[in-house]
Amino acid sequence: MASWSQERRARYQEQRKIWAADALDTLTSIYYSASYAESLICHFVSERRKQIYPDAINHRYKKTPIPRTLRIAVFERDAYRCQRCGSWKQLAVDHRKPERLGGLAAMDNLQTLCRTCNLSKGTKYDGPVQ
């Protein structure tokens, strides 16, 4: 059995859907275009988020680029081969320990991976850098 607050939340969510549909219908009737009305709503919501959460915009994570000379040194060390599958196509230098987890752009923390292996790895980290 659902609690009173769960039922209230469900009713509120349904009401919000009705309000959103009404707002879209109203804007569509004013501007004669559903896509333009949707873009206005999306713009309003994003501007409102910026007002409510101003710090969220300024604190995005930004990756630092690996210097070109270091990338070339890693490629040469790994003989221009992916360290997981051995491919030599679409190679990239990747951090073994991700930057978000404190990994540095140092030779012992970098490896050569092909695009497929790099995407499948994501931000996984198996253990200490060897």
pLDDT tens digit string along 22-38? 776 776 677 667 677 77
**AA identity, residue 51:** Q
**Domain ranges in the chain?**
4-58, 68-121
pTM: 0.52
Burial 5-15 (b: 16+ CB within 10 A, else e): eeeeeeeeeee
Mean pLDDT of 69-82: 96
Q: Which residue has the higher pLDDT, 61 or 26?
A: 26
C-alpha to C-alpha distance for 38 and 33, rounded to whole angstroms = 9
- What pLDDT was estimated at residue 10? 80
